[in-house]
Amino acid sequence: MRRERFDKMNVVPFIDIVLVLLVIVLATATFVTNQTINVDLPTASSKKAEEKKSVAIAVDKEGKYYYDKEQLSLELIREKLLKLDPKKDLISLHMDKSSQFQYFVDIIDILKTKGFENISIITKK
């Protein structure tokens, strides 16, 4: 039996596979960029604005605690944080890089006890 020479390569299956992969990439790329569903919300007469508080807590290198630029003790900060709504209010932590890690742990422990969900740790680039 005689073998045929392999002179030509059939690239049609390769082109089919590349086109299918291209369609998949384009379909997922448009889905990833448009993660929201556009909905025209109805209006109501009894509109109540959500009151979200943004609270800044800072600790300097000496271990002094500040609640919205007002120096307070850790116990007073604990009392004020326990009065906030953990699901709505935003807490931002400003820690001095040379402060002890224990100060950070103390604040995080208070926030964890109350169950805060919106916590941001402020850093610089």
- The average confidence (pLDDT) of the chain is 81
Task: Identify the helix (H) or strand (E) that includes residue 91.
Answer: strand 90-95
Report whether 55 contacts 83 (CB < 8 A). Answer: no
Q: How sure is the predictor about 18, in pLDDT bands with cuts at 50, 70 and 90?
A: very high
What is the C-alpha to C-alpha distance for residues 93 and 56, in angstroms, rounded to an integer?
6
d(C-alpha 88, C-alpha 85), whole Å: 6
- Are the C-beta atoms of residues 71 and 39 closer than 8 Å to each other? no
pLDDT at 20: 94
Q: Which residue has tokens 């919300």?
A: 41
Cα-Cα end-to-end distance for the chain: 73
Span 80-104, average pLDDT: 85
What pLDDT, on a 0 to 100 scale, did the predictor assign at position 16?
93
Residue 32 has pLDDT above 80, yes or no: no
Residue 35 has pLDDT above 60, yes or no: no
Sole residue written with tokens 């953990």: 86
Radius of gyration from C-alpha coordinates of the chain: 29
pLDDT of 50 > 60? The answer is no
pLDDT at 42: 66
Q: Which residue in 106, 102, 35 sits closest to 77, CA to CA?
A: 106
Predicted TM-score of the model (pTM): 0.54
Q: Where are the domains of the chain?
A: 54-122
Report the amino acid identity of residue 82: L
In the prediction, which pLDDT does 46 show? Answer: 63
CATH code of the domain made up of 54-122: 3.30.420
